[in-house]
A and B are shown apart, each in its own frame.
Chain A
Amino acid sequence: MKMKVVVIKYNAGNIRSVAFALERLGIEFNLTDDIDQIQSADKVIFPGVGEAKSTMNYLKQKNLDKVIRELKQPVLGICLGMQLMCAHSEENDTACLGIFDETVKRFTPKANEKVPHMGWNSLALKNSWLDSTLNEQFVYFVHSYYVPLNLHTSAITDYIQPFSSAMKKDNFYAVQFHPEKSAKVGEKVLQSFLTI
């Protein structure tokens, strides 16, 4: 039977980019905010670019917060999607989904390390669901907030301090970078998730 992939449609900035990346991989998917379709999917992708508070408010309005939290199939959070899977974000003091019991923090800039963290940086895998060939490969980041290292960290990236660039807990997978913009390496990350 064919795998049913759903990309959650909401007011996030990178949805089209994620959709294009899946199309380049030849993956058929449904871009939808329909709760039944999300719940019945085999794999769910939760993209995100934007501001935490307004995005959480939007998800709550659509009842998607509860739906995402209770999903049992593999779910991949990307960038803001990953941050919203945490308990709390310092970005406008926002209560998030609470899948990971972590607080999302704002980077404090250093002399030679500017904020946002923008550009290509490398992954150090740690007990990872990511394909082992991805270790020390470069992926594309754009973010001002980060998730500190924790029990669920599955890749570490160093910028200002080491932070979680990928995580996993139960059926929830998350990446801080943008696989949809990370060339061949990013495609491999998406493949890693889709072949779980």
Chain B
Amino acid sequence: MLTKRIIPCLDIKDGRTVKGVNFINIRDAGDPVELGASYAAQGADELVFLDISATNENRKTFVELVKQIAAHVNIPFTVGGGISSVADVAPLLEAGADKVSINSAAVRNPHLIDELAKAFGSQFVVLAVDARKIQNQWIIHTHGGSMATEKKLFSWTKEGQERGAGEILFTSMDHDGTRQGFANDPLFKLHELLKIPVIASGGAGNKQHFLEAFVLGKADATLAASLFHFGELTIPDLKNYLNTNQVTVRL
């Protein structure tokens, strides 16, 4: 049976991880390669690396980093941050990334999804969406969530699927950072609406929140950052808990 996936997300700035990391057995908590390999060894199913300092000068540093990650990490990983063209993506895939995530650039130019899917295959294209509920509508935001757009969560993700996205990474800005649980209602609607997998992001505060995202939200995967980085929840702990509660995971 296909398992539900647990995905730690690492924010990268100038080739280093940001946000505090509180890990035992890590020599250098700022080193994305060592941290990624450590998560892989603990049983993470995939990893996401987001380049939050994405600029043209930093792009080369990031590509170099992706090569290092690919050399040392034995599970699939997605990279994202500032990707706006096929030309941006080619070096990342060449460096060994398994998937790329696109966000603001796709909202600006939806055709980018078609181009990437055609050039590299749908399985390489993760459409990341940040949304917030405003007057009973889930509104897509861009630029790290700071800018509201005209797009709505359900129609936009459906369009993304039609254009060739292979997966949706949905972050609820209303839940992100609250540690009160994932946005299970819109997750369930996305599950009903879409044929492609949905990764839930934003709001993880404890083990039960992951269980709810899988059972109530029907998410295919869950993503979290600080909860794992601060060592408050370990991946083996989480997976054992999910397994005990009849969620199929890779142990």
A and B pair up: yes
By a beta-carbon cutoff of 8 Å, the part of chain A in contact with chain B is: 13, 16-17, 20-21, 23-24, 49-51, 109, 113-122, 138, 140, 142, 158-159, 178, 180-184, 186-187
Query: Is B98 engaged at the interface, CB distance under 8 Å to the other chain?
Result: yes
B120's nearest neighbour on chain A, judged by CB, is A13
Residues of B within 8 Å of A118, CB to CB, are 123, 166-167, 197
* Of the residues B3, B74, B167, contact of A120 by C-beta under 8 Å: B3
Residues of B within 8 Å of A122, CB to CB, are 1
Which has the most chain A C-beta neighbours within 10 Å: B93, B95, B123, B167?
B123
Query: What are 15 contact pairs spanning A and B, CB under 8 A?
Result: A16-B70, A50-B121, A51-B121, A113-B2, A115-B195, A116-B123, A116-B166, A118-B167, A119-B197, A120-B2, A120-B5, A121-B2, A122-B1, A142-B76, A184-B74
Query: Is B227 engaged at the interface, CB distance under 8 Å to the other chain?
Result: no
Residues of B within 8 Å of A17, CB to CB, are 70, 96, 98
A121 with B1: CB separation less than 8 A: yes
Of residues 193 through 209 on chain B, the ones whose CB sits less than 8 Å from some CB of chain A are 194-197
Residues of B within 8 Å of A142, CB to CB, are 76, 123
A158 with B1: CB separation less than 8 A: yes
**Knowing that A13-B120, A119-B2 are A-B contacts, what are 17 other residue pairs whose CB atoms are under 8 Å apart, sorted by A's residue number?**
A16-B70, A16-B94, A17-B70, A17-B96, A20-B96, A23-B71, A49-B121, A51-B121, A109-B195, A114-B220, A118-B197, A119-B220, A120-B250, A138-B250, A140-B76, A181-B75, A183-B40
B3's nearest neighbour on chain A, judged by CB, is A120
Query: Is B122 engaged at the interface, CB distance under 8 Å to the other chain?
Result: yes
B197 with A114: CB separation less than 8 A: yes
Which has the most chain B C-beta neighbours within 10 Å: A21, A122, A140, A178?
A140
A21 with B74: CB separation less than 8 A: yes
Query: Is B130 engaged at the interface, CB distance under 8 Å to the other chain?
Result: no
Give the 4 A-B residue pairs with the shortest CB-CB distance, closest first.
A138-B250, A120-B250, A120-B3, A16-B96
Measured between C-beta atoms, what is the minimum distance from B124 to chain A in Å?
8
Measured between C-beta atoms, what is the minimum distance from A50 to chain B in Å?
6
C-alpha gap A49/B121 in the complex (Å): 9
Q: Dominant SS at the B interface?
A: loop
C-alpha gap A184/B75 in the complex (Å): 9
Query: Is B45 engaged at the interface, CB distance under 8 Å to the other chain?
Result: yes
Using C-beta atoms within 8 Å of the partner chain, give the interface range for chain B.
20 to 34
Measured between C-beta atoms, what is the minimum distance from B101 to chain A in Å?
14
By a beta-carbon cutoff of 8 Å, the part of chain B in contact with chain A is: 1-3, 5, 40, 45, 70-72, 74-76, 93-96, 98, 120-124, 166-167, 194-197, 220-221, 250
- With A20-B71, A181-B76, A183-B40 already in contact, the answer to whether A121 and B3 are too (CB < 8 A) is yes
Residues of B within 8 Å of A138, CB to CB, are 3, 250
C-alpha gap A20/B120 in the complex (Å): 20
A140 with B75: CB separation less than 8 A: yes
Residues of B within 8 Å of A182, CB to CB, are 74-75
C-alpha gap A88/B122 in the complex (Å): 22
Residues of B within 8 Å of A183, CB to CB, are 40, 74-75
A117 with B75: CB separation less than 8 A: no
B93 with A119: CB separation less than 8 A: no
* Of the residues B2, B74, B195, B221, contact of A186 by C-beta under 8 Å: B74
A17's nearest neighbour on chain B, judged by CB, is B96
* Of the residues B72, B74, B121, B167, contact of A187 by C-beta under 8 Å: B74
Residues of A within 8 Å of B93, CB to CB, are 13
C-alpha gap A183/B196 in the complex (Å): 24
C-alpha gap A178/B124 in the complex (Å): 15
B198's nearest neighbour on chain A, judged by CB, is A114
Residues of A within 8 Å of B220, CB to CB, are 114, 119
Residues of A within 8 Å of B195, CB to CB, are 109, 114-115
B70 with A119: CB separation less than 8 A: no
Residues of B within 8 Å of A21, CB to CB, are 74
B40's nearest neighbour on chain A, judged by CB, is A183
Residues of A within 8 Å of B120, CB to CB, are 13
C-alpha gap A91/B87 in the complex (Å): 27
Residues of B within 8 Å of A23, CB to CB, are 71
C-alpha gap A51/B164 in the complex (Å): 14
Measured between C-beta atoms, what is the minimum distance from A123 to chain B in Å?
12
